């Protein structure tokens, strides 16, 4: 897997020899200052002294050996970048899932992707890298020789929640809409952490919660950001929302959506459970 030299430095400084950062590829360069050849070989441990040499020669990333232990520490220290997988599936369940994705991509303008959250080796060679897209074709090749007992952790290209409140400053209930929308944003960005409520293992609220107040903004963000779930935040789901959903379904027949029509301390947990259910739903599987 690729990590930055800054990340490597932080890991070894924080955990010392208990966590090994090991080069998975040779790094070779001519040092700008000494004009001497520098080489860090595959299998060598990354050390503090390497950091200065690499950075002053404009090398910001290195390839390192993937391990569950290293990944856990990266995830703990850099949670936005190294996220827990969305799913961990058995060989058979993953095979069914990626087949369903392939079918869905033929039926929708949204092209869903499956992204590896691990590395798979075969005969000492990495045949699937961390953060590599697992295409249907690649999987059909891999599954002919990898261990059938393996479990596969992975991400989806779809991530994030779009909170939608269609507003107009001339609406008589504009302030009511504004306050409900603001409460919903606060719920997902701040309160979920305080409540220790996990909507999805790979969701990072600080960056994955988006908002929209105009229909064209909703359509634009849905097509450009690969947001996973549309949440309508309004006391009344009127024709404007219904027309918006029709347009979304024209683009993506498997669009996920939910609604929040009321928020109070009494129903907060119930609302979050409904959102989690919608977020983790897979409409393209249900259609099979």
The domain ranges of the chain are: 2-77, 87-156, 161-286
C-alpha distance from residue 262 to each of 12, 170, 212 (Å): 48, 22, 18
Least confident of 86-100, 101-115, 193-207, 219-233: 193-207
Whether residue 234 has pLDDT greater than 60? yes
Least confident of 69-83, 131-145, 171-185: 171-185
C-alpha distance from residue 10 to each of 16, 68, 82, 262 (Å): 10, 17, 14, 44
Please report the beta strands in 110-150, taking only residues with DSSP state E, as ranges in sequence order: 114-116, 120-122, 125-128
Tell me what the mean pLDDT of segment 100-105 comes to: 96
User: Looking at residue 168, what is its pLDDT?
Assistant: 85
Q: Which two tokens stand for residue 164?
A: 């939608």
pLDDT category at 193 given cuts 50, 70, 90 is: confident
What are the pLDDT digits (tens) for 237-278? 999 999 999 999 999 999 999 999 999 999 999 999 999 999
Whether residue 172 has pLDDT greater than 90? no
User: Looking at residue 111, what is its pLDDT?
Assistant: 97
What are the pLDDT digits (tens) for 29-49? 999 999 999 999 999 999 999
Report which of 287, 159, 181, 156 is spatially closest to residue 233, judged by C-alpha positions: 181
User: Looking at residue 24, what is its pLDDT?
Assistant: 96
Q: What is the pTM of this model?
A: 0.91
Q: Which residue has the higher pLDDT, 91 or 17?
A: 91
The partner residues of 90 in beta bridges, in order of sequence, read 151
Tell me what the mean pLDDT of segment 113-121 comes to: 96
Report which of 204, 202, 208, 206 is spatially closest to residue 84, judged by C-alpha positions: 202
Whether residue 287 has pLDDT greater than 60? no
Please give the CATH topology (third level) of the domain spanning 161-286. Answer: Rossmann fold (3.40.50)
| Look-up of token digits 């690649």 | 138
User: Looking at residue 183, what is its pLDDT?
Assistant: 95
Question: Which region, left, alpha or beta, applies to residue 162 given φ > 0 means left and ψ of -120 to 50 means alpha?
Answer: beta
Q: What is the largest CA-CA distance in the chain?
A: 73
pLDDT category at 127 given cuts 50, 70, 90 is: very high
DSSP assignment, residue 133?
A: B
* Cβ atoms within 10 Å of 287's Cβ, excluding its own: 12
The partner residues of 30 in beta bridges, in order of sequence, read 37
Three state DSSP letters for 175-194: HHHHHHHHHHHHHHHHHHHH
What are the pLDDT digits (tens) for 41-87? 999 999 999 999 999 999 999 999 999 999 999 999 999 999 999 99
Inter-residue contact 90 to 147 (CB < 8 Å): no
Tell me what the mean pLDDT of segment 101-125 comes to: 96
| Look-up of token digits 């700008």 | 32
For the chain, how many residues are written? 288
* Cβ atoms within 10 Å of 46's Cβ, excluding its own: 22
Q: Which two tokens stand for residue 253?
A: 């027949």
**CA 72, CA 82: separation in Å to the nearest integer?**
8
């Amino acid at each position: 897997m690729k990590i930055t030299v800054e990340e490597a430095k932080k890991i070894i400084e924080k955990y010392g020899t208990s966590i090994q950062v090991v080069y998975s590829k040779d790094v070779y360069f001519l040092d700008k200052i000494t004009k001497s050849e520098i080489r860090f070989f595959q299998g060598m441990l990354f050390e503090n002294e390497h950091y200065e040499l690499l950075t002053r020669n404009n090398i910001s990333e290195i390839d390192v050996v993937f391990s569950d232990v290293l990944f856990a520490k990266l995830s703990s220290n850099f949670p936005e970048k190294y996220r827990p997988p969305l799913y961990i599936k058995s060989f058979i369940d993953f095979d069914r899932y990626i087949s369903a994705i392939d079918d869905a991509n033929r039926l929708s303008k949204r092209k869903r992707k499956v992204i590896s959250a691990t590395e798979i080796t075969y005969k000492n060679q990495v045949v699937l890298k961390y953060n590599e897209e697992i295409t249907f074709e690649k999987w059909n090749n891999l599954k002919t020789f990898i261990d059938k007992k393996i479990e596969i952790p992975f991400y989806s290209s779809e991530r994030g929640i779009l909170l939608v409140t269609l507003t107009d400053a001339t609406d008589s209930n504009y302030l009511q809409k504004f306050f409900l929308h603001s409460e919903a944003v606060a719920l997902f960005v701040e309160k979920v952490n305080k409540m220790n409520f996990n909507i999805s293992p790979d969701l990072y609220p600080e960056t994955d919660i988006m908002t929209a107040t105009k229909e064209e903004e909703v359509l634009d963000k849905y097509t450009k950001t690969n947001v996973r779930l549309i949440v309508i935040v309004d006391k009344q789901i009127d024709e404007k929302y219904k027309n918006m959903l029709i347009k979304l379904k024209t683009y993506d027949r498997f669009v996920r959506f939910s609604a929040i029509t009321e928020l109070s301390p009494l129903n907060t947990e119930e609302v979050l459970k409904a959102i989690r259910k919608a977020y983790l739903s897979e409409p393209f599987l249900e259609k099979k």
